[in-house]
Amino acid sequence: GQNIDQPTEMTATEGAIVQINCTYQTSGFNGLFWYQQHAGEAPTFLSYNVLDGLEEKGRFSSFLSRSKGYSYLLLKELQMKDSASYLCAVRGRTGGGNKLTFGTGTQLKVEL
């Protein structure tokens, strides 16, 4: 099976940097994903890591350590529109239907 843990809530200030952590235990690993979800809307894809290291995409970066079962999403220059839920998801072993298992999400609130 798979187990994914991430903080329930975080609060940060506009213009600041925030790091959202995700730890996982899986029976097989074939990639880790971060999605952003605004209330009542569908998740939107942010990033994908399958190898160890940092992937940077504009204001967002994602890091993966497979040996530690750990990832983080880094958001820089926070904007009010970044207030949303951030979902960490893990893809299991190859051939398993490309299924993603999602964490419960981290609700980020950006304040002035």
What are the residues binding another protein (CB under 8 A)?
Answer: 4, 8, 30-31, 33, 40-45, 48, 87, 89, 91, 97-105
CA 2 to each of CA 29, 53, 69, 77: distance values in angstroms, whole numbers, following the listed order: 10, 22, 11, 33
Of 13 and 98, the one with the shorter C-beta distance to another protein is 98
What are residue 80's phi and psi, to 5 degrees?
Answer: -60, -35
| Number of residues that this document lists for the chain | 112
Query: Does residue 44 contact residue 37 with C-beta atoms inside 8 Å?
Result: yes
Min dist CB 112 to another protein, Å, is: 25
In whole angstroms, the minimum distance from the beta carbon of 95 to another protein comes to 10
In terms of CB distance, is 61 or 91 closer to another protein?
Answer: 91
